[in-house]
Chains A and B, each alone.
Chain A
């Protein structure tokens, strides 16, 4: 007891030394608390965001797997070609994986390309990207002016469900109908003076003798320009493309059969949770999915992209924390060593009058622990209180830096596009490296299309990714990015526990230095060599 009492008295007696030590620990504590809070904020934001995220995923080609080759050697062109060939999964296969326990629901779309005999395609870039990336197979079937997309269910038409597009005239075709009915864009209707009830005659671009007629039952209009952009980027639903025609999948299948059109089918799986989404891939592989396929979700990718500034900040915070702890720990170590050196006379006297060196060490450790605990508590409280505004302030800088960085890379989408392993990036590679492979294009484009559809479900990511992905010179500046730019909570129980660990580590470092200092001194030598 007297050791503790004496330690407390010593803190009071040596105010300057105690304050100096306390200030250093306080600086370390407040820095550590902020860094840990930033990391906690990133983790919490990510976890909560993913929890609330409506996730749609697709089975896509795993470009990394294909590009990996065998025995660590890069694959040959023919190997890659082989990998891409017959890569499109059949509807039966896609449906098989929809039976897995992790899947909440499943829908699919089909796309094909056709020309029309009496109407003209809208040739302007109104579609904001939809023209080029109109849909699966479009590059291969570039002779078709129109993309006809068939939907398995109303659920697949998320743009309508989300209110990003609406029927302005007529009605939507009946779900699952085999009737050759469709909806067209208001632009196409206006451009060709089409109205509900009119019939459009389409022609197989590869064989003009094969024709089919489709009745217009409705005209749709975009209600959200940014989402329109977004849809255009991936193909799929292609709401941004005025030349897109929508109908039921059953009707499209019927047309494809009668007019000998190739239809690229792609499936979309929805998941109840992020965990289910993560589970799906392993389940699918266990169920027989080839290892060259992977599962991706644009919802998740988009959300992670939104988190990028926060993740960057979290990474910086981690390094800052490590540096701070190392430097702070070293400073404390040196300070303790100097302090022990300065107090060696005291150590000598205490040992000479019979105080065991272990007890002397304990007294010094109590002093260090008491000052450290007060400083850590103060640092922790102040750090916690300021964690949210500081995190948001730093996050704002990180967002700004990320935006300008991506802008410098050639457009708002530069960063995302440039990221290795990014699914969108993979698709670009896919497009370029395998332009003759319809299946691959189809599969990949499907991913984007349906992802893009579903991504509008997730928080506020609409438009952001469009800006990211779209042509930089067209979509403009960094302002189009939609990153997570604020957090509502930072410090939490985990941070508190981590702060306790930081405190214990600091006490351990300083305490060890104090103990080794005390142990090495010989009281007689100290007393006889005293000036």
Chain B
């Protein structure tokens, strides 16, 4: 059974303008990594923004556990149901790594006696050295910042992880580490991980590869996994 479903969704930046996405249908399941691939400008990031409810579709909708995410509280959806890893990390620069993660848990309403310790443990498990935990995030390397962003995204244990070019700015070694984390999230923790990427390597590591051009109009219901099996 799918966790997330896109139903006949279209999107244009302005009313009556050119549609970036048109009649898109797709389903996403728990425990899998999906790679949204395609040329620049094809609408990958737009689709991810829609999945994150950062913008609204012109037509159609997205359902999570059969509930229309746009009919509910999109803020609540973002802080509970999805964890977003942005291309530019989008960490709060004046906070350190731990504070960034704790804030996310606070927003999600996680009620734990020691959120700070939980954040530290999480960050360390994602490869952040202990002495980097209290440093302002801007002083951390790109890879470290990406790890912090990932820790922030999973800190409140959302069922869906959305990542926009998560390894775009990273070297190969770090890219592998990051992907290992995503695999762990999907395969061990049972999350639904949707990654937007240019990288063929990342796409090949995904359980399901979805070319955005095909998804857009041409790709039909339930055909994704079958049409584009990994390897």
Chain A positions near chain B (C-beta within 8 angstroms): 2, 6, 9-10, 13-14, 346, 348-357, 523-524, 527-528, 530
Contacts and interface: CB of A to CB of B under 8 A. Distances in A.
B92 interface: yes
Contacts of A355: 75, 79, 107
Given A353-B107, A354-B79, A524 B94 contact: no
B140 to A, nearest CB: 16
B76 interface: yes
B54 A2 contact: no
A352 B78 contact: yes
B80 A354 contact: yes
Contacts of A354: 75-80, 107-108
B88 A530 contact: yes
A527 B76 CA distance: 19
25 contacts: A2-B103, A2-B106, A6-B103, A9-B95, A9-B99, A13-B95, A346-B92, A349-B92, A350-B92, A351-B75, A352-B78, A352-B84, A353-B79, A353-B84, A353-B103, A353-B107, A354-B79, A355-B75, A355-B79, A356-B73, A356-B75, A523-B54, A524-B55, A527-B54, A530-B88
Nearest to B91: A349
B117 to A, nearest CB: 16
Going nearest first, the 5 A-B pairs with the smallest beta carbon separation are: A354-B79, A2-B106, A354-B78, A524-B54, A13-B94
B152 interface: yes
Nearest to B80: A354
Given A353-B79, A354-B75, A527 B90 contact: yes
B86 A14 contact: no
Contacts of A349: 90-92
Nearest to A346: B92
Contacts of A530: 88
A19 to B, nearest CB: 15
A399 B193 CA distance: 80
A353 B88 contact: no
Interface of B: 45, 49, 52, 54-55, 73, 75-80, 84, 86, 88, 90-92, 94-95, 99, 103-104, 106-108, 152
Nearest to A527: B90
Contacts of A356: 73, 75
A10 B94 contact: yes
Nearest to B78: A354
B191 to A, nearest CB: 17
Contacts of B152: 353
Given A354-B80, A524-B49, 15 more contacts: A9-B95, A10-B94, A14-B94, A349-B91, A351-B75, A352-B78, A352-B84, A353-B104, A354-B75, A354-B78, A354-B107, A356-B75, A357-B75, A527-B90, A528-B45
B77 A6 contact: no
B181 to A, nearest CB: 18
Contacts of B49: 524
A351 B95 CA distance: 16
B90 A352 contact: yes
A304 to B, nearest CB: 58
Contacts of B107: 2, 350, 353-355
Given A6-B106, A9-B99, A353 B78 contact: yes
Nearest to A349: B90
A348 B90 CA distance: 9
B54 A352 contact: yes
B211 to A, nearest CB: 23
Contacts of B77: 354
A2 B116 CA distance: 13
B166 to A, nearest CB: 15
Contacts of A352: 52, 54, 78, 84, 86, 90
A348 to B, nearest CB: 8
Contacts of B95: 9, 13
B54 to A, nearest CB: 4
B154 to A, nearest CB: 12
Nearest to B104: A353
A528 B73 CA distance: 22
Contacts of B76: 354
Contacts of A6: 103, 106
Contacts of A13: 94-95
Contacts of A524: 49, 54-55
Contacts of B108: 354
A524 B47 CA distance: 12
Contact of A527 (B79, B86, B94, B103): B86
> Of residues A14, A351, A352, which shows the largest number of chain B Cβ atoms within 10 Å of its Cβ?
A352
A355 B106 CA distance: 9
A2 B104 CA distance: 11
A261 to B, nearest CB: 95
Contacts of B92: 346, 349-350
A202 B118 CA distance: 113
Nearest to B94: A13
A351 B86 CA distance: 13
> Of residues B77, B86, B152, which shows the largest number of chain A Cβ atoms within 10 Å of its Cβ?
B86
A353 B94 CA distance: 16
A350 B157 CA distance: 18
Contacts of B55: 524
A104 to B, nearest CB: 71
